[in-house]
Amino acid sequence: MSKPILPGATLGVLGSGQLGRMFAIAARRMGYRVHTFSPDRETPTGQVADKEVYSDYLDLDALRSFATEVDVITFEFENVAFEAAACAAEYVPVRPAGEVLHTAQHRLREKTFLSDAGFPTTPFERITTVEELRAASERLGLPAVLKTAGFGYDGKGQTVVRSTEALESAWRSLSTEEAVLEAFVDFECEVSVVAARGVDGAFAHFGVTENRHANHILDVSIADAAVPDVLYRRAEEITRGVLEALEVVGVLCVEYFVTREGELLINELAPRPHNSGHFTFDACVTSQFEQQVRAVCGLPLGSTERLRPSAMVNLLGDLWADGTPDWAAALRDPDVKLHLYGKREARPGRKMGHITAFGRDGEDAAARARAARDSLSR
């Protein structure tokens, strides 16, 4: 096993959004320096990093220079070109490995990997023409969900097809050469498991979190989802299996549908910290971001114990429609924690921050988080 990368070293992050920001905060608290690399300037990560490098991910000369100044590289989102990861790996460890990124950033590769490995997924088919779409829709049935094969998140790059008459327009709307058609799942709820795997194969997870969405964007996450013990254990088992099959070193989130029959189906993978794990920043002994630092640096994983019942709500740019939100109003509840990401422009649907709240149980915490958010625009 490789030697641990100890505090005082420099950690490189490909990507520069809010996930990198919270990773950098955790890393700097532990005594590391942080450099970030992305095509954007004055970014959420760059505001708290020691160095911000502005360049395209496919500028391999810039990436080589970046890699020579850091001791390990990780990701803060998966839509980084695989070539960038491969280039960086010539100089320093890249964790998770570029092969994990390559699989998870492309829906067809991801679903094919999961299916071939025996993990439960929704039935799916590869689509490259409208004729293939028509044939697949007859086999899978309608409604069904048509998604671009690569580079999609928060509901982008996908559409629900409800009738044969809508097939052609749905195909045109994606403007892609390759897509995935998935059978429609009538699910009871959506849950996720954020987990970490160390260099030594150690595994730790943050439990099963219930996720409630609005307009395809995560709205509320409630820690310790109210699911049967057998489903909880099954989610842990599958998640561990996914991390081991991919040989992940770092943090990865597995998103699931819970069917009305009580079965789990994997919806998506995210090979980095996840929005549904933001509550861990305040509510756990070790946050998902500190756990990412520990894992990629080869340190022992930390305790994921939950200190209090908690829930998180996202703050989208829509809240700024009538001016600056009333932050003082939200903070009148002493059990509310506010996180803002330093983004300069508020746009509808853009994640600008989040609120974590504590309560008697998960539902009480969720109600307090929603109340705090509602108070922002009164």
Query: CATH number for the domain including 172?
Result: 3.30.1490.20
Which residues form the domain of 346? 187-377
Mean pLDDT throughout 350-363?
Answer: 97
Alpha-carbon distances of 200 from 194, 203, 206, 315, rounded to whole Å: 18, 9, 19, 37
Residues 232 and 338 in one domain: yes
The pLDDT mean for the chain works out to 95
Residues 307 and 372 in one domain: yes
Q: Can you list the alpha helix ranges (DSSP code H) found in the chain? A: 18-29, 60-67, 82-88, 98-104, 107-116, 130-140, 167-174, 229-246, 280-283, 288-296, 327-330, 362-374
Select from 157, 183, 209 the last residue of a domain. Answer: 183
Q: Is residue 308 pLDDT above 80, yes or no?
A: yes
The reported pLDDT for the residue numbered 77 is 87
The reported pLDDT for the residue numbered 63 is 97
Residues 217 and 348 in one domain: yes
Residues 191 and 151 in one domain: no
Has residue 2 been placed in a domain? no
Model pLDDT for residues 52-96, shown as the tens digit of each residue:
999 999 999 999 999 999 999 999 988 898 999 999 999 999 999
Q: For the whole model, what pTM was predicted?
A: 0.95
Residues 164 and 141 in one domain: yes
**4/335 Cα distance (integer angstroms):** 37
Residues 226 and 278 in one domain: yes
CATH code for the domain in which residue 212 is found:
3.30.470.20
The reported pLDDT for the residue numbered 155 is 56
Q: Is residue 324 pLDDT above 80, yes or no?
A: yes
For residue 368, give every residue at least 6 positions away whose Cβ sits within 8 Å of its Cβ, in sequence order, or none: 311, 333, 335, 336, 357, 358, 359
Total structural domains in the chain? 3
Residues 139 and 268 in one domain: no
Model pLDDT for residues 135-186, shown as the tens digit of each residue:
999 999 999 999 999 765 555 688 999 999 999 999 999 988 999 999 999 8
CATH code for the domain in which residue 26 is found:
3.40.50.20
**77/16 Cα distance (integer angstroms):** 9
The share of the chain scoring above pLDDT 70, in percent, equals 98
